[in-house]
Structure 1
Amino acid sequence: MSTRKKPLEGVKVIELATFIAAATTGRFLADLGADVIKIESAKGDPLRYTAPTEGRPLDMYENTTWELENANKRCISLNMKDPKGKEAFFKLLDGADILITNWRVQALQRAGLDYETLKVKYPSLVYAMCTGYGEYGPDKDLPGFDFTAFFARGGYLENLRQKTDVPMNVVPGLGDHNVGINLAAGVLAALYHAKLTGEGEKVETSLFESAIFNMGMMVQAAQYPDYGVKYPINISEANNPLNACWLTSDGRYVQTCMPDYNTYFKKFTAALGIGEYGEDEKYYPVQNLIENKLGTDIYSKIMAAFGTKEYKEWEKILTEADIPFALAKNWEELLEDEQAWANDCFYKMKYPKGERVLVKHPVKYQEMGPTPYDRGPFIGEHGIEILSELGYNKEDIDAMLADKTLYVWEDK
């Protein structure tokens, strides 16, 4: 293992946030060596209690979601409504390089924690803000989760469903992780500038803004209503029917991706054993297909061909033909995916009840070596340690514990 110093060692980050998106940013920075101190209430981040929704047992000692978002961090639980708790928070900020928050705009302003207020006292601070719908506009203070602000408002659910069916099911974290990494990229740029110049910056993104960026190609294309088909569509109606999922005889779906129909059509139909259509000018090139309105027809022929063989047979045929494809895998299969293990996607964490496989961040570093994976902290686990570092003596800390300004979770 490399002994190279991690790039963010010596950087101090205060994370005043709940749930996933902002925590993803903090976790990314913690993996790079930053001292990320997460601030929670006595009850703790609601993310600690989402296990039943995800189909897991609720167990503070084995909380895989908490680990995913909060590994490698320290935690202090402060009552921010108490003046002594607020004072401790500002002492933390005194030595901080970065503040990460997902509080709503109005809440930040009421608490005196908005950027305009803090930059007066902390001119070099990088202020990272993650919201549901953005910092401005009529909906800036709406509660935002990725199900709503990202998937629904951002265009996924309406446009990506089959026209004749309800929207796809979504699961937590997809939009949040995307947004968290976007915010981390902005934070690192601002931190670099701050270290060079001493000038801080506010970095902001949101679930909604990130979804719009992700949908950029199609949002832009929507300005040309006289071309193509209006979404939502049934995939058989697409201008390019080769970018679809096909059902095999053993009930598995295979996704193919051939962005340029003309480059792949003859090779693809030949591999499927229906090469006669590749030579038929009604179906090729794509302009003829569109003019003859035969997209649904060729889609049906390809689907029928896939139904004649099991996936394992198609895997060999498509690989040899150099067709871009992938099996639609379930989560259980991903846990055993040889490609994922070869590329260090997973980490084996030892828990009191046994070993579990956890997912790692997708960015790797050759010279630095593997990033650590320490479990996420319990509520307030490092509070006494952190306050001691700030200069609080034992009597001060005991008094704060006694009046619940400071809280440290204990299993009862």
Structure 2
Amino acid sequence: MSKKLLEGVKVIELANFIAAATAGRFLADQGATVIKVESAKGDPLRFTAPSEGRPLDWHENTTWELENANKLNISINTKSEEGRDALFALLEDADVLITNWRQGPLERQGLDYESLKKRFPKLVYAICTGYGENGPDKNLPGFDFTAFFARGGYLETLRQKSGLPMNVVPGTGDHNVGMNLAAGILAALYHARETGQGEKVESSLFETAVFNLGMAIQAAQYKDIGKAFPIDSSDYDNPLLSSWPTKEGRYIQTCMPNYNQYFKVFIATIGHPELADDERYFPIQNLQANGLGPELHKLISETFKTRTVEEWRTPLVEADIPFSLAQSLTDILDDPQAWDNDCFTAFEYENGNTRTLVHQPVRFAEQGKPVYTRGRFPGEDGPEILRQHGYSQERIDKMLADGSLYVWSE
């Protein structure tokens, strides 16, 4: 295997939960040395298992692996003088700092960008927040349920007009933000290597959601054209952008954004060739002028109910209609497309259990398959990391005794 893409890059991750950790995980996967700084209490992410429907077991913590595989871990009390000194020792030769701390704590401990750039001018300083660094709500606590899904427009846009907002899954918005942050870090890291000047990189849950829904948000300016979200799927401007119930109660989603391109082929494929040349339904301008979108939607929906998913698959594939079964999470675990593209790895825990773990979604041709090493326990690598930074064993023992350095044990 060739040299890892980021081998030789050193990253300090001063962050908890998911978004910032996602960026750190990406850099670690590409060969960077990522040192996660964790408090003695433990990252709150270590305790979220009951909310996710899995066992609360630090020795088999699938969420922790997803966000923190391939990293080292040191647990220091940054509020103590010795702990803060240790953190600055780690930063002396670091290329990147990733954090999701709020501005107040960062400033109180001298860890804000303006303070650190004076001491470490080449450092790439990456921060992710809930709502961005400016504005009246910049200091609010931000999670993807609130700052991304709710404030960012997902819940009100993606629900049926007649129904509740959709259920949301933790980590979805965070993963978006983390990968955005990683992209910014790489651009700033290139700049730092070329010029010797560091940079501050920022992304947030709210800003990412606004970008993700950018097409719909921009279109919302044209209030006299189209329909405002939320919309029932039966009333879409283009009824071919819908989910259809099948005979066994599953759903098939179709996507034909250019109605006029697909309508004739699609309507014949599902068994209604007599409508292909019906000027009431084609082109889309006639459909909309006649107000027949809901009627066409009902006809298609009733037609799909007459066959199973498997019975629909062949004709839709042969007609080159863009579609997919609405898969459950357990469907995805068994999806050969996911396995063949290295979305997953079979990971064996020390307790003997083998679990399916998810890789990040970027592949490199010359790097080989992604490698998964388990996320570390709090402070597991701390003494060795400090030894590598010139700390004597005597000083390390003193820090362990006074609590400025911590190593987790059973």
TM-score between both structures, scaled by the size of structure 2: 0.99
Alignment counterpart, residue 307 of structure 1, candidates 305, 308, 324: 305
Q: CA deviation at 1:239?
A: 0.7
Report the equivalent of 1:125.
123
2:153 to 155, 158, 174: 155
Query: Residues of 1 paired with 2:198 and 2:220: CA distance?
Result: 38
Rounded Cα–Cα distance in structure 2 between residues aligned with 1:135 and 1:290: 43
In the other structure, the counterpart of 1:370 is 369
Alignment deviations for residues 94-151 of structure 1 (CA, whole Å, 9 cap, x no partner): 0100000000122211221110111001100000000000011110000000000000
Q: Which amino acid aligns with 2:347?
A: M
| Aligned-residue offset at 1:369 | 1.3
1 CA distance for matches of 2:24 and 2:407? 21
Unaligned runs of 5+ in 1: none
26, 40, 45: which one aligns with 1:42? 40
- The answer to whether the aligner puts 1:208 opposite 2:180 as a matched pair is no
Structure 1 equivalent of residue 282 of structure 2 = 284
Distance 2:374 2:301 in 1: 46
Cα separation, 2, equivalents of 1:212 and 1:51: 29
| Post-superposition offset of 1:7 | 1.3
Aligned to 1:19, what secondary structure does the other structure show? coil
Shift of 1:370: 1.9
Instruction: Give the equivalent residue in structure 1 for 2:335.
Output: 337
Segments of structure 2 that go 5 or more residues without pairing to the other structure are none
Once the two structures are TM-superposed, the CA of residue 354 in structure 1 deviates from its matched residue by 1.3
> How many matched pairs?
409
In structure 2, distance between residues paired with 1:308 and 1:112? 66
Establish whether residue 392 from structure 1 lines up as the match of residue 405 from structure 2: no
Paired amino acid for 2:229: Y
Aligned partners of 1:30 and 1:73 also within 8 Å: yes
Kept after mapping to 2: 8 A contact 1:105/1:140: no
Within 2, Cα distance between the matches of 1:316 and 1:369? 34
Q: Percent identity?
A: 63
Amino acid aligned to 1:362 = P
Residues in 2 aligned to 1:164 and 1:206: alpha-carbon distance in whole angstroms: 31
Q: How well do the aligned residues superpose, as a CA RMSD in angstroms?
A: 0.7
Matched with 2:16 is: 18
- In 2, Cα distance between the equivalents of 1:166 and 1:211? 20
User: Which TM-score applies when normalising by structure 1?
Assistant: 0.98
Q: 1:350 & 1:199 partners in 2: Cα distance?
A: 43
Whether the aligned pair in 2 keeps the contact of 1:179 and 1:206 (CA below 8 Å) is: yes
Structure 2 residue corresponding to 1:31, chosen from 29, 32, 40: 29
Report runs of 4+ in structure 1 exceeding 3 Å deviation.
none
1:276 Cα deviation from its structure 2 partner: 1.7
The 3-state SS of whatever aligns with 1:347 is strand
The reply on whether 1:146 has 2:108 as its aligned counterpart is: no
In the TM superposition, 1:9-408 aligns within 5 A as 9-351=7-349, 352-408=351-407
C-alpha separation between the residues in 1 aligned to 2:103 and 2:312? 53
SS at match of 2:228: coil
> By how many angstroms is 1:390 displaced?
0.8
Distance in 2 (CA, whole Å) between partners of 1:44 and 1:354 is 24
Deviations 1:204-251 (A, max 9, x none): 000000000001101111110010001111011111000100000111
